[in-house]
Structure 1
Amino acid sequence: MSVHEELTRIQHCLDDLSRSMGRLEQQIGSGGLEVRRVRTDADHLRESVALLREAAAAPEAPKRPDLVTISDAPYDLSLWTDTDDEGLGARDRRAP
């Protein structure tokens, strides 16, 4: 099955769940914590499926970033002049 078909199938299941919840709320009331939790969870699932549908419709992004080659040559030592020694402070100043 394609992704679109699977998402449509999930959407139908969520629609069935919503209808069942509506009937259940008519029978036992909608004020109970348990009923509200199931309703909220079903709403979250509906939002998540909508996000999945958007992601599936978007053009496919690369799975991993492009690799960057890092040279094995030593660093230029001038990069490290006039810098503070980490944790020791500047060379021309004293600690308090």
Structure 2
Amino acid sequence: MSVQDDLTSIQRCLDDLARSVGRLEQQIGPGLEMRRVRTDADHLRDSVALLKEAAPGLTTPRRPDLVPIPDTPYDTSLWTDSDDEGLGARDRRAP
């Protein structure tokens, strides 16, 4: 069974759960316990929706926006106050 099939099965079960909770609420009536059960069922539905969004392979991967980089040289005044980090000190050689 694929991930998509499993998530669809879970969604069907949650739909059945919501219908059962609705019927039970009509029989028992509203109350704190019924509100908790309904809230828990809604949380499950929300969690599965988040899982569908996060599941790998279910959605096509979004290509990151491309940022054009100009061919013109950068202004050297941008680096006047910075050190050559990672290149070592100016008066010494790297080992």
**One-letter amino acid of the counterpart of residue 3, structure 1:** V
The equivalent residue for 1:33 is: 32
Q: Which consecutive residues of structure 1, in runs of 5 or more, have no partner in the other structure?
A: 61-75, 78-96
Structure 2: distance between partners of 1:12 and 1:58: 20
Structure 1: distance between partners of 2:6 and 2:33: 29
RMSD: 2.2
Q: Which consecutive residues of structure 2, in runs of 5 or more, have no partner in the other structure?
A: 62-87, 90-95
Structure 2: distance between partners of 1:40 and 1:59: 32
Structure 2: distance between partners of 1:41 and 1:17: 11
Identity %: 72
Q: Deviations over 1:4-37 (max 9, x none)?
A: 000000001100000001100111112x111100
Size of the aligned set, in residue pairs, is 65
Q: Structure 1 length as normaliser, TM-score?
A: 0.58
Q: Deviations over 1:30-88 (max 9, x none)?
A: 2x11110010000000000001111123457xxxxxxxxxxxxxxx79xxxxxxxxxxx
Runs of 4+ in 1 over 4 A off after TM superposition: none
The equivalent residue for 2:11 is: 11
Q: Structure 2 length as normaliser, TM-score?
A: 0.59
**One-letter amino acid of the counterpart of residue 46, structure 1:** R
